[in-house]
Amino acid sequence: MNRTFLRQLITFFQGMYAGIPIGLGYFAVSFAFGIQARAAGLSAFQAFLLSGTNLTSAGQFAGLAVIQSAGALATLALTQVVINLRYCLMSCALSQKLDPQTPFFHRFLMACGVTDEIFGVSISVRGRLSPYYLYGQTVVAWPGWAFGTLSGALAGNILPDSVTAALGMALYGMFVAIVVPAAKQDRKILLVVLAAALLSLIFYYTPVLSTISAGTRIILVTFLTAGTAAFLFPMNPTKEASHGRN
């Protein structure tokens, strides 16, 4: 064993350790996703495959809504682009934290593990980010998400209806836990959140607008509110781009 290999191995194990709470949290939330995937008509294996290849809560959840409403594949793709656009920002930030010499295969492989939580842990390390630190987190977090989904999809049927229905709140609870602390800390985010909530309600309850599908409504509300906010409050590069919990 040479020194470089040993250092990479230690970094990998440190990443695994940091990934334990992430994996446990993922298991709980993706259990609820598994139940909902079954309700949307997916088989347990399809739910497992969806979670294993996507590794994203909000995107998968919105995808289910599009699948359930038999939306167009283009709508499905656009929904994923808009909802997962934040990963683009995170990957941009991570790319700045890598050693510029990092080979391409690491960059391709790392991309699989860019989630809100892994990004949050990875971006907070001192100095340069080693791909092995991210791999360590990913190998612990991924099984939590994928097998949590599988368990939910398989066990969802044996749970009482009241429990299944209540677990549906878990994903929304997670979204609230991401949005609220950020809105509390930053008034501009608070304005975006209030505007998005109001606009979403208007879309949902206004006669003609209410015929728009859930996926399209989410995209429209996002572009209108985030677009207006970007126009009103541009961000200078010196300002820290990360708020609240990631």
Partner 1 sequence: MDATNIWLAIAVMASVTYAIRMLPLVILKREITEPHVRAFLHYVPYATLTAMTIPAAILDAPTLLAGLVGVSVAVLLALWRVSLVLVAAIASLAVWLVEVLL
Residues 168-227 that bind partner 1 (CB under 8 A): 168-184, 188-189, 192-193, 195-197, 199-201, 204, 214, 217-218, 221-222, 225-227
CB 26 within 8 A of CB 145: yes
Cα–Cα distance for residue pair 17/153, rounded to 1 Å? 28
Residue 74 C-beta: closest distance to partner 1, Å? 8
Site for partner 1 in 108-147 (CB under 8 A): 108, 110-112, 114
Among 166, 187, 209, 210, binds partner 1 (CB under 8 A): 166
User: How many of the chain's residues bind partner 1 (CB under 8 A)?
Assistant: 107
Stretch that binds partner 1, among 3-11, 61-69, 135-143, 147-155 (CB under 8 A): 61-69
Stretch that binds partner 1, among 5-13, 51-59, 135-143, 148-156 (CB under 8 A): 51-59
Q: Is 129 helix (H, G, I), strand (E, B) or coil?
A: strand
Cα–Cα distance for residue pair 153/47, rounded to 1 Å? 7
Q: Which of 61, 147 has the CB closer to partner 1?
A: 61
Reference 18, options 84, 115, 149; nearest CA is 115
Q: Which residue has the tokens 């509110």?
A: 225
Q: Which of 13, 17 has the CB closer to partner 1?
A: 17
Name every residue whose Cβ is closer than 8 Å to that of residue 240 and which is 6 or more positions away in sequence. Answer: none
Does 86 bind partner 1 (CB under 8 A)? Our answer is yes
Q: Give the type of residue at 159.
A: L
